[in-house]
Each structure stands twice: as C-alpha cells, then as structure tokens.
Amino acid sequence: MATATLDSEVLLDIRDLQVHFDVRRGTVRALEGVNFTIRKSKTLGVIGESGSGKSVTARAIMQLLAKNGSIVSGEMLYNRQRDDSGDSELIDIAQQPSDSQLMRDLRGGEIAMIFQEPMSSLTPVYTAGLHIGESIQLHLKPRQTVGDQMAKAIARQNRIPREEARQIAVEMLDKVGIPRPEERVVSYPHELSGGQRQRVMIAIALSCGPKLLIADEPTTALDVTTQAQINDLMLDLQEEFGMAIMYITHDLGVIAEMAEDIAVMYLGRIVEQGTTDAIFYNPQHPYTRALLRSIPRIGQTEGSRLEVIEGMVPDPFSIPTGCSFNNRCPDVMPGVCDARMPELLIAGDGQRAACLLHDPDTMQEVTRARVH
Amino acid sequence: MPASIEDPGVLLEVRNLKKYFPIRKGLLRKVVGHIKAVDDVSFEIRKGETLGLVGESGCGKTTASRTAIRLYDPTDGAVLFRSHANGSGDGEVYDLATLPLRDMKPLRREIAMVFQDPINSLNPRMSVSDIVREPLRVHGLDLGRETDEEVQGLLSAVGLRPEHMERYPHEFSGGQRQRIGIARALALRPSLILLDEPVSALDVSIQAQTLNLLQDLQEEFDLTYLFVAHDLSVVEHISDRVAVMYVGRMVEVAPKRELYTNPRHPYTEALLSASPKPDPRNPTVRIPLIGQVPDPSNPPSGCYFHPRCQYAEDICRTETPPLMTIGEDHASACHFADKLELQGMQ
C-alpha cells in the first residue's frame, strides 16, 4: 500500500520496480529494481542502449506490459492532483490492474505516451481528426454550453459530441504546427509526412491535458531538421501546458537539449541519476563516463579514435553477477564488483550513482586488503 | 570508350549525374512525370579518402551513391572510375555510366558495398562462411579449402572469431552482423567501398567500435570510402571531405573542418544548427527551417532551397545557382555564397 508521502514537487516516484517476462527459455528480468523520480513540469531524460529497459519502464508506468510481462515488486507512486479541490492523492500505479477504470482514466488522459514509429502507432483507417477525437471523447467531460436536449443525451453518455471533438482536434493540430488544420483533420496517416505524423501523435497525447507525457524515442525515425522542429515543439508545449515529460532516447545530443534531469539505464537498472549538468560534466558511474566518451562530437575528434566500451550488452540470460557492468567496466575491481551489487549512492554533484567505487564501506575493505 | 580523369589522385569522378524515376499513371502506365532523385550531381572521390555524403531522407544521397557505382542505371551523366585491376601505375579509367553490363563485372570486384540494416542484408539461410565467400564464388575465386583460410582471415580482420564461421546471422548481435557485412565487402579486396548508413542501426557503444574498425580497415586494406549518413557528428568523425545534398542536388562540398566551421550554403548552416550537441551548457542557436523538404517530382523554381531559406532574394526564385568553386577545395551552390556571413560550429 502507498503509505509513503511524496514531496509536492514530485509527480511520479518509482521505487525498486521489478518487471519480469516469461519466455520459453525462462524468465527475463527486464527491470531489476528501477528507482527514479519525475518532477512536476520538468523533463526527465532516460538514456540507455537497446535492452536496457527504457521502454519496458515506460510501458510499466502505462500498465501496458505485454501479456507475458508482470510487475513483480516495487511501487510507482503517482501524485494525482484533483483539479476541482486542489487536493492531491497518492496512487500506486503498480497496484492498479491494467483494465481498471482508474488506469483507463489515467492512461491517455493524465499520462499520455508518444512512440517512436508514428506510422505504426496510428491506425491507417482513421483520419487525424478521428484519432484525436477518440482520445477526447474517452477522457474529457462535456462542457456545459450545449443545448438542453443535447445536454441530456450527452450526460447519459458523458461524452463530448463528435462535432465539438472535431473542433478541439482542429485546435490541437493548429497548436502542434500543422499547416491548414481544417483540411488536415480529415487526412489519413499515409497522406502525412513523418514529421507531421509525429505532430499528430503529439496532438493526440496532449489533447486531454496530460500531467505526464512519456515520449519513447519520439524523433529517432525522423531527420535532423524535423527532429529539431519536433523537440522545439515539445519544449514550447511543455511551457504552455505545464506537463512533465519522460523523454526516452539513446541520443546524448538530444537529451542534452531536452532534459533537466537524466537517468542512465543499463541492463534493467538505473546506474546514475542526476541533473543534466551533473551527468554531462561530472559523471560518476563508469558506464556514463564511457558512454559520453564513445560518441563522436563535432569539432573534437580531429584525427582521433573514439574510445569504446569493450564487448557488448550481455543477453538477458547471461547477466554477470554482482554489478552487471563489471565485465565491460574499465574501473572494475576483481573480486569485488563481481560479488556485490551496488546501490544508488550520492556522489559527485548531488547525483546518485550505483557503483561500488562510491561505497565507502567497500572502498575501505579494498584499501585494507591492498595494504595486507 | 576512352575516358580520362585529369587528376591521378582521383579514384572516382562523377560528372553531371542524373537519375530520374518515371511516375506512371493510368491504364497504359503512361509516364506522366519524373522524380528527379539525382539531378545534375558532380563530385569526385580521391584515392584513400573518405567522402561523407549527408542530407535528409529523400534528398537523393542513397540514389546518388548507388547510381555512382552502377547499381542503378543513370539517366544521364558520366561516372569515371580508375581501375587498378591490371596493376599498371595510374590504372585504367572506365566510364561506369555507359559501360556494357558484362564489362562491369570485373570492375565490381573493385567496388563493394555495406548496407544500413545488418539484419535484412544478410541471408538468414546462409552461414557466415557462405556469406563472406559468396562474392568470391560469384567471381570464380572460391578455391574450397584455401578459401577457408581467406575467410578466417577476413573474419579476424573485422574482429570475429574463427568459430563463428559456421554460425548463422540470427546468432549474432547487430554490431556483429554489421561486421559480417563488412567482411563480405572486403572479400574481393575492393578499392572503393560504399557505406550506406553503416552505423545508424547500431547502439551508441557499438557505433564507436564499428567506426574505429572502419578506420583501421581503411588503413590496413588501403580503402577509399563513400560514407552516406544523416548523422553529422558521425560523418564529421570519419570523413575527410563532406558533401551536402538537398532535393537531388549537391549544395556544398568542402573538407570537413572547413564545411563545419565555415559553411557557405544556408542549408548547410541550418543542418548544422539542427544537429543536437551533447553539451548542455552551450546549446546551439537554431536556425529554424520552416516547412518541409519539397517534393522531388515537383520542386520549386530557381534554387530548390529558396522557400525555406531566410536569406532568399528575387534571384533565388528564378535562377538555379550552379555548384561553384568559392575557395580552395570548397564549392557551394548559392547565389550569395560569397556575401553571406553564415554561422558554423566552433
């Protein structure tokens, strides 16, 4: 039960989240104790390589895990603000069944998501307007301005009438910068360009005024100039609507421009979380450091070779014991890192890093052992 | 046809290359127009260098590079390639654009390709050994046992172990698959390799390994690369010179340092400013590009970039600027290349 309290600035607090998937070969421990917080109206960037569990985390928050996946333990505390009274209540999303009314209200309403592939996440048989209208009719309550008879009919269904939903859809398309929204509202996905499709996705997500927008690699399939447009748009809309964003990406350049806070994931764990500034200029986990050194940077690579992280991400059935990064870590302490699991500890500029180098007890033992 | 390249250091010279794809409509599939995927593109690749080719999707960079190695038949233009097959000093020059296909085959030994998607470009039913030796077999160079050693050598050159030979593509990770693709490209000891987005499907840490491998191989095997990509930081890292394309045309070509710090075409400037920088304390000031890349079957008049260009003037709407040399080794297709003060990267 959610007996804990949250700082009023915190929108979502994930504590020790574990998600497992049952597959033929056994159990994949996709998330092994994920901890992070998302602050209200701020952007948390989540970076990591494929298989690190970024998308699984996003889907767990939405209660949209595949059938063979389950939340084994942990809490996802969501600070729900009641618009009318100003009170807030704490909901542990981890405890809510996926098909409960509460989850249905939250999902797509207060917590919205946009995906990487705008083509495959829009249905080809719906127009842009229908896509947005569907979400509006499901989540928004009708306004009080409609005529008597209509009002009765609507009250029964408690739905916004179609025409009004279309009007809101047009407004939303205009907000996300689609030219001639009146015409575009009847366009099908195939008639739109990649950037426009992603704008439609954003319009759907924002149409119900979410408090949290989960963006899972929203610009990976787009060109650089389109990517810049979409990211700028998201920042503008964040200012206007005040929602928090959980921005998942593998692109360190994008995250530097988008996020206030960053969580670095590796093999189902958060290895470091802190402010963007701390992560980029004073990284404390060897994985974060290696990642930052391995990317080509314009103007800094004259004639040089890139530093690489040796080896590759292990497959989910052969995760090393102890710290899961120990087999690729340049600073590995043999006999220590493969035996012990590091916790997230305060390090550097106030960020938290899961590395035994920052664990005073471990380090004391190591020094003592060296002396002897 | 006797052809010649003036500069002996140039391996491939593309002159006024065009590739139009017909748009067919109606019952009789009548040609109603053309998509000018590559429209009058000229560039050269010098021996031993890496030429980066960048642009947004649909700009024709893939079509241009594939047409340049005759994977597509060009609509017009010339592609002069210096073949060193006979071992004679400067080599012999052939025009790939007009060469009969049967005469192309021996030349194909000298030109190889690495594809973007390492999953779809490897046959799932072939073992690694078969994949890597296939080019040898096609050219009648598969000598059985002896070739085994050759294949092992190639695999170790790309960082794979000999015991990987009998495995199948699905047993490998994305980065390893790309290494198999690279080993296959090396099999015939080519002089030129076309790399089409070779690292864009890979994870950050694997990307760095692959880029380093490509640099090592270039030195070891004396290779020349045509590197097509959209990621400007990757292109800057690996290239000697960089060419920028926009809607089927070349808009700027320069040595990489020069192009990144001193762009002379407004599109290059905008592209650079859109590229995200992993440096949160010094964010780039973005030059907003309004609207979208125009439709190549119905491009705007004059300079194709003028509807999105913040510096556009009347002449840009009416006259198409040619690619002009504006400095040492620097060419730009802008009417105001000399006058504009454009912002590069530090």
Confidence of residue B264 (pLDDT cuts 50, 70, 90): very high
pLDDT of residue B1: 46
pLDDT of residue B88: 62
Of the candidates B56, B175, B205, which has its C-beta nearest A291's C-beta? Answer: B205
Of B55, B35, B17, B53, give the one whose Cα is nearest residue B246: B55
Token reading at A67: 């059938």
pTM as predicted: 0.88
pLDDT of residue B44: 95
Q: Could you tell me if B61 and B251 are in contact, meaning their C-beta atoms sit under 8 angstroms apart?
A: no
Of A11, A34, A32, give the one whose Cα is nearest residue A21: A32
CA distances (Å), B142 to each of A289, B112, B130, B153, B269, in order?
46, 17, 10, 15, 49
- Please give the average pLDDT of every successive group of 10 residues along chain A, which has 372 residues: 69 95 91 94 93 92 93 94 75 93 91 85 91 88 56 63 88 88 91 88 90 92 85 92 94 94 95 96 95 86 76 84 92 91 90 93 86 74
Burial label for A92, CB within 10 Å (0-12, 13-18, 19+), is: middle
What gap in Å lies between CA A241 and CA A111, rounded to an integer? Answer: 13
pLDDT of residue A327: 92
Reported as half-sphere exposure (CB side, CA atoms, 13 A), residue B218 has a value of: 22
Say which residue the tokens 């290239």 belong to. Answer: B239
Token reading at A234: 């998201």
Of B19, B29, B33, B17, give the one whose Cα is nearest residue B298: B33
pLDDT of residue A297: 86
What gap in Å lies between CA B145 and CA A187, rounded to an integer? Answer: 60
pLDDT of residue B48: 95
Helix (H, G, I), strand (E, B) or coil at A121: helix
Of A204, A216, A187, A27, give the one whose Cα is nearest residue A108: A204
Beta carbons within 8 Å of B171's beta carbon, 6+ residues apart: none
Cα angle B210, B212, B214 (rounded to 5 degrees) comes to 70
pLDDT of residue B52: 97
* Interface predicted TM-score (ipTM): 0.84
Token reading at A291: 């990642």
CB pairs under 8 A between A and B: 131
Q: What DSSP string describes B87-111? A: --TT-EEEETTTS-HHHHHHHHTTE
Burial label for B291, CB within 10 Å (0-12, 13-18, 19+), is: exposed
Task: For residue B45, report the phi and psi dihedrals to the nearest 5 degrees.
Answer: -120, 125
Q: Could you tell me if B15 and B96 are in contact, meaning their C-beta atoms sit under 8 angstroms apart?
A: no
Of A320, A247, A279, A290, give the one whose Cα is nearest residue B203: A290
What gap in Å lies between CA A346 and CA B20, rounded to an integer? Answer: 60
The Cα of A53 is separated from the nearest Cα of chain B by a number of Å equal to: 14
Lowest mean pLDDT among A245-249, B193-197, B289-293: B289-293
Q: Could you tell me if B299 and B247 are in contact, meaning their C-beta atoms sit under 8 angstroms apart?
A: yes
Which residues in chain A touch residue B176, judged by CB atoms under 8 angstroms apart? 312
What gap in Å lies between CA B225 and CA B48, rounded to an integer? Answer: 8
Architecture field, domain A1-110+209-298+306-315: 3-Layer(aba) Sandwich (3.40)
Beta-carbon separation of A256 and B279 below 8 A: yes
Beta-carbon separation of A299 and B260 below 8 A: yes
Reported as half-sphere exposure (CB side, CA atoms, 13 A), residue B217 has a value of: 29
Of the candidates A194, A276, A294, which has its C-beta nearest B204's C-beta? Answer: A294
CB contact A300 to B (< 8 Å):
no
Which residues in chain A touch residue B261, judged by CB atoms under 8 angstroms apart? 299
What gap in Å lies between CA A285 and CA A293, rounded to an integer? Answer: 13
Which residues in chain A touch residue B206, judged by CB atoms under 8 angstroms apart? 49, 312
Residue-range domain boundaries for chain A: 1-110+209-298+306-315, 122-208
Helix (H, G, I), strand (E, B) or coil at A29: strand
